[in-house]
Amino acid sequence: MIPCVVVEDSFMAALPRLLLVGCGKMGQALLGGWLERAGVASVHIIEPALEAIPAELRNHALVRCAIDPAALPTDLQPDAIVVAVKPQMMSAVLPAYRSFAAAGTTVLSIAAGRTIASIKAALGGEAAVVRAMPNTPAAIGKGVSVLVAGPEVDHPARALCTGLMSAVGSVNWADSEDQLDAVTAMSGSGPAYVFLLAEALAQAGTAAGLPARMAVGLARETVIGAGALLEQSAEPAGTLRRNVTSPGGTTEAALEVLMRDGALDRLMEEAVAAAVRRARELSG
């Protein structure tokens, strides 16, 4: 459950009121998580492409939708504004929400690369801003998010943001905003690396003589099963790898190729470093 709003260290009876700016794929994942696995009093959504929001979300009793912030009630006092628009749109979009980002309102941004300072500047300079970096498995409640808070964010606001992001997966807090570039490169982009592994494994199976359809299915189920085992096991990934590797067996022969001279480690380090550099370029 999302924590109720805390005032003077006591819980209010009311559940949080949310304003969701942007409801694309990640916004929809968050909205679905809040409605299914958490508790909210209301969610006002601003999304120009309302028809893209699934009807079961758009027509939910707790949801109010509009295409423009001018349609929002003037007396709306959200406990949190969740910004889920593309990073390049932030500068144009955010100023319209200055009046809602008053004292007592937390601004939670999931826009990659946009710094806390830039978000504060767009909202008038006084906003309490939290940045979050989720990843795409949030769509099925299996995401992982890393959050970092600006100096104005107090403990109740951190608890609220933890609850909001916990609705779509696990939550971690970074010590500094600088770490989010590495987070973006690792867990934010990480699902693509796993999907690439599944593609490459299927291609290798086809090259070894399997029908393409069988190879694709085997690669997919192997990645799914290995991920589930990793999730349920208390053992680290290295131990699970060694458990599969019989001395002198087929797995050992394959791993000798993949791990030769640390090549795979270096390749992954280079890939993540490239993504970090790009994240820093995008943040200016």
- Give every CB contact of residue 217 below 8 A, 6+ residues apart in sequence: none
Go through the domains of the chain in sequence order and give each one's CATH number: 6-180 (3.40.50.720), 190-283 (1.10.3730.10)
| Pairs from 102-107 (Cβ < 8 Å, separation ≥ 24) | 102/77, 104/77, 104/79, 105/77, 105/78, 105/79, 105/80, 105/81, 106/79, 106/80, 106/81, 106/130, 106/153, 106/157, 106/160, 106/161, 107/80, 107/81, 107/83
Q: 150 is written with which tokens?
A: 């600006």
Residue by residue, pLDDT tens for the chain (284 residues) are: 555 443 333 333 468 999 999 999 999 999 999 998 878 999 999 999 999 999 999 999 999 999 999 999 988 999 999 999 998 899 899 999 998 987 779 999 998 888 999 999 999 877 899 999 999 999 999 999 999 999 999 999 999 999 999 999 999 999 999 999 999 999 999 999 999 999 999 999 999 999 999 999 999 999 999 999 999 999 999 999 999 999 999 999 999 999 999 999 999 999 999 999 998 887 76
**Does pTM top 0.85 for this prediction?**
yes
Phi and psi at residue 75, to the nearest 5°:
-95, 10
* DSSP annotation string for 153-179: --HHHHHHHHHHHHTTEEEEE-SSTTH
Between 155-166 and 25-37, two packed helices, what is the crossing angle to 10 degrees?
100
Q: Are 39 and 63 in contact (CB under 8 A)?
A: no
Structure-derived torsion over alpha carbons of residues 33, 36, 39, 40, reported in degrees to the nearest 10: 70
Buried/exposed 52-90: b ≥16 CB within 10 Å, e otherwise: ebeeebbebebbbbeeebeebeeeeebbbbbbbbeeeeb
- What are the Cα distances from residue 82, in Å, to 18, 30, 232, 238? 7, 10, 32, 38
Q: Which two tokens stand for residue 274?
A: 């490239």
Cβ neighbours of residue 271 closer than 8 Å, sequence gap 6 or more:
193
Beta strand pairing call for 143-149 and 128-133: antiparallel
